[in-house]
Structure 1
Amino acid sequence: MCAVGCTGPRNASQCGVPGTGSTQGTSIVTTSNTSTSSVRLPWADATRAAGVIAVVVFHVLIWIHDPVFGTETAAGPLLSRVNALLGTLRMPVLFALAGILASPSLIRGGDARKALSRSVSSYYLYVVWLLIYLLVFLLVGTAGSPHYFDSLNGFLTQLVVPDTTLWFIFALAVYIPVVLAARAVRLPPPVLLVLAVVVWFVLQSEGDGSLLERCAEHFVFFASGVFGAATLRRAAVAPLWLAGLFSAVFLALMVLRTTDIGAQNDALEFLSSLASIPAMAAVAHQLCRIAPVARAAGFIGARTLPVYVLHPVVIVCILAVGRQEALGPLVGSFVVDALYPVVLSAAVIIVCLTAENLLVRIPGNPLFALPESVRRRIVHSHPQNGDQRSSTSGTQSRNPRGRAISPLRRPRS
């Protein structure tokens, strides 16, 4: 997936992850059979679903469509503009939603142990799927495969320096300890947010675009979700006219970025990404008033983790077959060229969901959930370092769930 800020021409060098991602391994990605005592929020599922679909479409474009057919096909200019739009909102929205969902355990007074279990869960999923990616690359990958690595050394390096689409899940695992540390030293949230904004601008102007830097850049959106959760929740359920206003502001900023004044303007890029968060949530809420849309969004939104982690595997397998060139003559048609990435993305998502339906049957569900014994040990441990939360017995009565942060939720084993 591309790193959050990929808004320029589509090319492999811009691809970061999404960041999963979205999307929970910890984030905004959730798995099927979600078990939670809280009421599901249709707008959150819809926003999560839209984010992970945008990630898949982006990767289909930069990994399959563009390398095979080029960017100057019949619909190439349109696809580039659409991708720029999606690039502005894709990762900021996913990280913000992850922050909103993690907020109760991260804000002052929240259960730090529960937050820590989310972080461990996310990193566990990161390691498991990084190992799976290594096996896939060894079996069917080539040196030209996206984010290719084929050695134990490459695997060990990525345990601390992410360089695949899994950077989103890695980031979510790291963000929680950062917020908890700020909470432990009583750093005021506004100060932490200001520092995060400074980091974003510094890396935008001075960074090299690595995925590790993308993790640092996007912390500002996660932190915005954590500390602005109440405001963003209210924005999500805003009336239709306000949803329209949010969308208008976002689109106006995007249009301004296409002008000579707005092109390559870091401030406009940041503001448009920030504006996309309430706009996406509010639009999702309005669309969920349509029953079929709400059902479809709920179905995909509850399974964003498997789509997020599995779609690169499916794309690598498609590239291994290598027969896309046969479609070359068809991309001369604007309609066919425009529909090609949409149809292929839908096919990739269907394959991911089908595979997930089989993989969750593995006893203990190790591919999508932290082992229950580990989660319980973290969540039910005795309070440490002045944690004033209730004792283990009190925690047990609440029966907390150690879900990976964000949009990804843990399926039942």
Structure 2
Amino acid sequence: MADLPVLASSARPGASASASPAALGAGRLIWVDAARGLCVVAVVMLHFRIFVYGELSPPSNGIAVWTQFTEFFGGFRLPLLFAISGLVVSQRVRNGWSDRRNLARVASTYWIYAVWLCVFGLMSAIVVGHNVPFRVNSWGSFFSQLLVPDTTLWFVFALVLYLVLLTSLRRVHPAIVLGGLALVSIVSGLVPEEDAEALWLHVVYYAVFFAVGVYLRPALEWFATNELWAKSVAALGLFIICEKLWELTSQGDMVESTARLFRDAAAIVLATTVVALASRLPVFARTASAIGRQTLPVFILQLPVIWVLVLLPVVEDSLTIPLVRYTAPILGTIVIVVVSLLVHRFMLRTPLRHLFQLPASWSDRIRHGSRREARAAAAASEQG
């Protein structure tokens, strides 16, 4: 599990448990884990609102309010999550392929993607005649998604692609990589409106934010330490300006796409300072970071749990009760996160753990194979 980018240790080289109010416990940067936890919770809430609440709840003002609330955080959720995912593996990625942990990480992450695509395909074959999201409807769809994702697993696929890309570009100047990916991100906003929500397009757009985490880790850590109140106020002002400028643009042109990129970059800065500030509160730090250290299982298992919620008649019936209806996105998010974590914990104690782990023998061979070969060659040379 430690090979996975979203679960990798957020240890800061040379940091101590007392390095800052946001850095606690064995050198881990608590604000990093807390940020990941908040991001995945926001993603789960969005998906619950769209696929459960929006589909099953009777029309009411509550739907409009929760729609506006979840859409507001669009600039924060995935840009920050990808930036943090890049940050925690930045040093290894910049080591290039000579660090065989990168190859092991790529293999482990794609293993998880492929295995869970199989699981989603099996779910789709079993559950027929129901309006559930992200079905894998045919063998053609399954095989195409091995290369072009079209389920919530796109996030896992994106991590594989970003790792391969940036590890391979280690000798290219970071400014060139960041500039190139920023341009690609901007151009991705020019696709026709009917393709704007395609999940493969998300993979293209968010690559630059993963690169920000890899190459600009010192800057992100600077925003998360010292004078956090002043930095938060300044970041809030910057975000508001970028948000308003983005709102003035027309959807689908170069200006709008550029403004969106700047808005999302400003959101990363604001979220970093605010989360680091909030991480001074022990209750917040413990809760958010506990979720953040288990981001991937929540991201993957949310879809099976959402399917169960859609299929259970009691869920739709409960949404006719006003108190439940108006608080459902909060309640549903808690249920999905808690159930996902409990199921994941159970799976790790059974052979089902291989759905989240590349077999150890394969991982060891990938990670240490060249060393063993080198030692064998050296021993043969000495004997000769």
Query: 53, 56, 70: which is aligned to 1:83?
Result: 70
Query: 114, 123, 137: which is aligned to 2:110?
Result: 123
Query: 295, 299, 314: which is aligned to 1:308?
Result: 299
Query: 147, 168, 185: which is aligned to 1:200?
Result: 185
CA distance in 2, matches of 1:113, 1:298: 28
Q: More relative contact order in 1 or in 2 (CA 8 Å, sep 6+)? A: 1
Q: 1:146 to 1:233 in 2, by over 3 A?
A: same
Runs of 4+ residues deviating >6 angstroms: none
Q: Is the 8 A contact 1:54 1:90 kept in 2?
A: yes
Aligned to 2:173: 188
Kindly indicate whether residue 273 of structure 2 is the aligned counterpart of residue 274 of structure 1: no
CA distance in 2, matches of 1:125, 1:235: 33
AA of the residue aligned to 1:172: L
266-275 or 107-116, larger mean C-alpha shift: 107-116
CA distance in 1, matches of 2:202, 2:37: 22
- TM-score (normalised: structure 1): 0.78
CA distance in 2, matches of 1:346, 1:30: 24
Supply the RMSD in Å over aligned alpha carbons: 2.6
Q: 1:134 to 1:238 in 2, by over 3 A?
A: farther
Unaligned runs of 5+ in 1: 1-23, 32-36, 384-390, 394-413
Aligned residues: 350
AA of the residue aligned to 1:175: Y
Q: 1:109 to 1:325 in 2, by over 3 A?
A: closer
Q: Deviations over 1:335-389 (max 9, x none)?
A: 6544111111111111111111211102483122222222222222438xxxxxx
How far has the Cα of 1:94 moved from its partner? Answer: 0.9
Matched residue SS, 2:84: helix
How far has the Cα of 1:77 moved from its partner? Answer: 3.1
Q: Is the 8 A contact 2:319 2:325 kept in 1?
A: no
Aligned 1:3-402 pairs, distance under 5 A: 26-29=4-7, 39-69=27-57, 73-108=60-95, 111-140=98-127, 142=129, 144-183=131-170, 186-206=171-191, 208-209=195-196, 210-240=198-228, 241-258=230-247, 261-262=248-249, 264=251, 265-327=256-318, 329-331=320-322, 337-363=325-351, 365-382=353-370
CA distance in 2, matches of 1:58, 1:74: 17
Matched residue SS, 1:28: helix
How far has the Cα of 1:296 moved from its partner? Answer: 0.8
How far has the Cα of 1:256 moved from its partner? Answer: 4.3
- TM-score (normalised: structure 2): 0.83
How far has the Cα of 1:150 moved from its partner? Answer: 3.8
Q: 1:46 to 1:142 in 2, by over 3 A?
A: farther
Q: 1:190 to 1:223 in 2, by over 3 A?
A: same
Determine what percentage of the aligned residue pairs are the same residue. 29
Q: Is the 8 A contact 1:26 1:169 kept in 2?
A: no
AA of the residue aligned to 1:223: A
Instruction: Report the structure, 1 or 2, having the larger helix content.
Output: 2
CA distance in 1, matches of 2:269, 2:90: 17
Q: Deviations over 1:135-190 (max 9, x none)?
A: 2222235452111114333322211111100001001111111112222xx32221
Aligned to 2:21: none
Unaligned runs of 5+ in 2: 10-24, 377-384
